[in-house]
Structure 1
Amino acid sequence: MTWRLGILWISDRGFRGERKDESKDLIASILAERLPVDFVAYGVAPDEIEAIKEALIEMIERDRVDLLITTGGTGLGPRDVTPEATLMVVDRVIPGFAEEMRRRASQISPNELFTRAVIGTRKTTLLVNLPGAPRSAEICLRAVLDFIEPALELIQGKRG
């Protein structure tokens, strides 16, 4: 089974074309190390709840991604609203995933405790929020990497 991967970068400056996404290729390559993934969708959204929400739903509905990774907007800044938008989109939250991400990632970098990342499902898609900084995104992703495929199999009824 090849999993359909989508990545959504949340960044005001990226959306305006003032900054380059340095996490996208890193995330795709880390996932490809462990999972059979086909990178089928990519998008950039500003740090606005409605724009993020619409982009997430579009990738799930139109692009039919199995795994949707967001980067950016998970911190404590006033425009960091990715978790709020994600909560409006998911059917179910998977708190253990995010707790484990923060626990393991904070052992490497204590600042990872500042991420408010949400992980959950919408229909048969797994949504994972990651921080925007490439190093932080890598640390957090690696913390839950081994759990992604089993979660996808359970969500899609391929595992009992």
Structure 2
Amino acid sequence: MTQPFPLQRRHPDDLLVGLVSVSDRASSGVYADQGVPALADWLEKALIRPPQVVTRLIPDDRATVAAALRELVDEARCDLVLTTGGTGPARRDVTPEATLDVATRQMPGFGEQMRQVSLAFVPTAILSRQVAVIRELSDHAALIINLPGQPKAIAETLEGLRGDDGRVRVPGIFAAVPYCLDLIGGPYIETHDAVVQAFRPKSARRPAHSGAEAR
């Protein structure tokens, strides 16, 4: 599951996304990876302008994970990199460490909120060690977020929790991603509110869906 790059940014608001699944068994063919397909499907559903995506399926090895993250940010020029897998307490779970290895800034609120959402479902959410960071180059920056390994948990942490009336009770982390990308010089992305409602201060908002029609 390796795709070539560079990706082609055809519009200033094209979002370039790297999706990384970290798993010894999936990368060796013991079973099919579910994390990257789940992430790709979710982004396609959530974003008004479809993203350009490059994927990686790699083993639980700290140096390998760090190298993939650097490649996706520095060479593929991804604006957003989402990882799945390798965030628990087992000895082979090294995704957070590898992510911190490539970071220039940490964004602890993302990990805190993911655990808050997951705790509504399972008490073992406190064992999850997901982190989020920014990697900055002289002319580019990207947000890197570790996500859970299971497709259902991925959607829950991205979207948040809704009550029976459909209103968001616990916000998911993706609500903050578009404005974070704005602040680090990334593309302006918009979401379908029915999936996740992006939050921006009024001063940072463009007219609804300006130039971001689905293609």
TM-score by length of 2: 0.69
Structure 2 CA distance, aligned partners of 1:121 and 1:99? 16
Structure 2 CA distance, aligned partners of 1:85 and 1:27? 20
Q: Per-residue deviation at 1:66? A: 0.6
Deviates most, 104-113 or 124-133: 104-113
Structure 1: 4+ residue segments shifted above 6 A: none
Deviates most, 99-108 or 134-143: 134-143
What residue number does 2:42 align with? 30
Query: Do structure 1's residue 39 and structure 2's residue 56 form an aligned pair?
Result: no
What residue number does 2:166 align with? none
Which structure has greater helix proportion?
1
Assess if the C-alpha contact under 8 Å between 1:40 and 1:63 holds in 2: no
Deviates most, 137-146 or 112-121: 137-146
What residue number does 2:210 align with? none
What residue number does 1:13 align with? 25
What residue number does 1:81 align with? 94
Structure 2 CA distance, aligned partners of 1:77 and 1:54? 21
Structure 1 CA distance, aligned partners of 2:135 and 2:50? 19
Q: Per-residue deviation at 1:73? A: 0.2
Which whole-Å deviations, capped at 9, do the CAs of 1:86-112 have from their partners, x for residues lacking one? Answer: 000111010112111111221133332
Query: Do structure 1's residue 98 and structure 2's residue 99 form an aligned pair?
Result: no
Gaps of 5+ in 2: 1-12, 160-171, 189-203, 205-215
What residue number does 2:85 align with? 72
Which whole-Å deviations, capped at 9, do the CAs of 1:5-39 have from their partners, x for residues lacking one? Answer: 11011001122122211122221222233333423
Query: Do structure 1's residue 137 and structure 2's residue 154 form an aligned pair?
Result: yes
Code of the aligned partner of 1:138: A
Code of the aligned partner of 1:148: V
What residue number does 2:144 align with? 127
Identity %: 35
Assess if the C-alpha contact under 8 Å between 2:131 and 2:145 holds in 1: yes
Q: Tell me which structure has the larger Cα radius of gyration.
A: 2
Which among 182, 200, 204 is matched to residue 153 of structure 1?
182
Bigger relative contact order (CA 8 A; separation at least 6): 1
Residue pairs, 1:45-60, within 5 angstroms: 45-60=58-73
TM-score by length of 1: 0.91
Give the 3-state SS of the residue equivalent to 1:121 in structure 2. Answer: strand
CA RMSD of superposed structures (Å): 1.8
What residue number does 2:201 align with? none
